[in-house]
Structure 1
């Protein structure tokens, strides 16, 4: 697969110390900037604890962002299904579908933060089962015509049906997240909905090659359930930073990356780094393993081609938004990506490059005829 479209994945995570209300406004400003640059998608996550992520309702954020943008598709990345009654998830999704004039994609998953589950009294061992039970009902509500009656140990529906139907006859687009286990990819295959993979698994020695195995799980599940998946609908989220060179890019973000590693990722078991030099070395290793894409335009193009080849091809790259550099460098990275990296993959240069080659050929022929 040669073509890739581009979007962004906004968890969002912001280091402690800044007014949390202002981070919401900055994230909304970023949504507008991405829309102006022509990014196809923006996904917004759900968090309830640990301080760094303060968007507790991606639907509310998306409703606000939809009023400030014109073209960009907006997705929940993701609604943690075990935390919500499935009827309410489906109802809110259809309402956003209409309010955004079809620019909303319902992204769902099992949730990943143990402290969120603890506060809600949910056993982490139950999250996958709950996700599967919830998604089954949501899919029936969004695609079926008959009322849904279902009773489990954590929700009940009696003759449930949605008053609003999806805006399009094709239905409301959906995606299911996948991290390390095959669970999310198998659900995507079971229902024939788009998988959203969160880059390289967070374990020592893992590389971008692990993503190829994730796609196989989805394909196998789809075949078992008589469905088909298209790699063009496969989204892969990776951290990306584009600058004038790899050295400059690392200078711009190494201190911020250390904060993420030592203050947030350490909460989920990542070992801390004890110096700037150690952080830079770790980042270099991540770049070489294609676990992150950092460097000049040409370096990022080469890295993305490596990721394409290693995975067998995917349709959409979602840039994980990280506050690991200052605001100007962050926005410039997205601009460089949109102006100079994305056109190498989305076909935008084909017309002008072809025209230039044709005119050059004509000019050479005319010069030779003189």
Structure 2
């Protein structure tokens, strides 16, 4: 049986989650600075979400945020993570994404989903029971528009009459679209139906983890039924990660942000979480059984991150991109250092880029006696010749 392959691309998923008693302008500015740092560190992707309520997730327009990020970066791909399709007229959203793709010169990725927060749906009059069907209707139109088609269609919530994009993606490229997938197979089926990518947002959640392989199987079946080839390189998995030099240091640093995330979960759920009365208790629960919404976090060392990603690869059979769910787990300096550790120590282990250097060192070590002996012999001969060059 072939071994599952490990991801070769890495990025950050930025909802973001910021405590509501701080200055939002400074929080957004820090997020933009973070994207610039990710670009310098070699991360391939950054994703920004869309939310309109509950105070913590403060990016309302991922395209607006990513357009500003594009001006501060040169290579990192910019994904909307995700646009809530029931809140948008499909032509208008597709047009905005194409503008982002033009402004960033081909670095936009469109992530789509039904919308996570029921409070967002309530304020806009969207029935949460209809959100997945609305997403499907919108996605069908958007995919066709992005592929250059002229679309005429009508649903009970939007109409398109000979709709076409006046810009299109940058230089005629095929703009990548990724569908959010959590526990249910809805996203997996839709992505397979259209032959597009899949974004597994609940990979860290025990229930979400358990359905990763079955959701991929549903994706493959939908691909086969629609005449598309499934492509694991387009599959992205999301997990919260915080790293430090030692596991003890990482766990202590996480006590900074874990209580705020617990407070957010408790406010939305209307009940207290067991075992989270203290910062240390919240961190312990987060790394053991996990927290609602955020799943089980990797809080430890580079080796812990490698081990978890290998587990994900084993469960899925292989996927293309690993995304760090970036939360305010630690203070900003420690959070940035975590991302540096991941880039410096985790990525080379997973991609094999350090293997040639290790092999070179091993070869030199195995032959050190021969090499050092030759060097000593050359030195003795030079001394015997009293510096005469021959």
TM-score range, shorter chain: over 0.9
3-state SS in 2 of match to 1:163? coil
- The separation in 2 between residues aligned to 1:23 and 1:120, in whole angstroms, is 26
CA deviation after TM superposition for structure 1 residue 5, in Å: 1.4
> Which is worse superposed, 339-348 or 68-77?
339-348
Q: Does 1:131 align with 2:132?
A: no
CA deviation after TM superposition for structure 1 residue 325, in Å: 1.2
CA deviation after TM superposition for structure 1 residue 229, in Å: 1.7
What are the residue-to-residue correspondences of 1:225-244 with 2, within 5 Å?
Answer: 225-244=226-245
Paired position in structure 2 for 1:258: 259
The two structures have a TM-score, normalised by structure 2, of 0.88
CA deviation after TM superposition for structure 1 residue 364, in Å: 5.3
Q: Does 1:299 align with 2:304?
A: yes
Paired position in structure 2 for 1:197: 200
> Which is worse superposed, 351-360 or 105-114?
351-360
CA deviation after TM superposition for structure 1 residue 213, in Å: 2.1
CA deviation after TM superposition for structure 1 residue 262, in Å: 2.2
Q: Does 1:309 align with 2:348?
A: no
Q: Does 1:84 align with 2:88?
A: yes
| Per-residue CA distance 1:250-275 (angstroms, 9 max, x = gap) | 11112411220123454046742223
Q: 1:28 aligns with which of 29, 32, 38?
A: 32
Contact 1:179–1:197 (CA under 8 A) maintained in structure 2: yes
| Unpaired stretches in structure 2, ≥5 consecutive residues | 378-390
- The separation in 2 between residues aligned to 1:139 and 1:326, in whole angstroms, is 40
CA deviation after TM superposition for structure 1 residue 186, in Å: 0.8
Q: Does 1:186 align with 2:189?
A: yes
Aligned residues, how many? 365
3-state SS in 1 of match to 2:242? strand
The two structures have a TM-score, normalised by structure 1, of 0.92
Paired position in structure 1 for 2:126: 122
Between structure 1 and structure 2, the one with the greater Rg is 2
Q: 2:338 aligns with which of 325, 333, 337?
A: 333
| Per-residue CA distance 1:101-127 (angstroms, 9 max, x = gap) | 101111111101011001101100111
Q: Does 1:166 align with 2:173?
A: no
- The separation in 2 between residues aligned to 1:222 and 1:269, in whole angstroms, is 40
What are the residue-to-residue correspondences of 1:99-110 with 2, within 5 Å?
Answer: 99-110=103-114
CA deviation after TM superposition for structure 1 residue 52, in Å: 0.7
CA deviation after TM superposition for structure 1 residue 352, in Å: 2.5
Paired position in structure 2 for 1:44: 48
Contact 1:106–1:175 (CA under 8 A) maintained in structure 2: yes
What are the residue-to-residue correspondences of 1:133-148 with 2, within 5 Å?
Answer: 133-145=137-149, 147-148=150-151
- The separation in 2 between residues aligned to 1:135 and 1:347, in whole angstroms, is 37
3-state SS in 1 of match to 2:277? coil
CA deviation after TM superposition for structure 1 residue 302, in Å: 2.0
Give me the CA root mean square deviation. Answer: 2.1
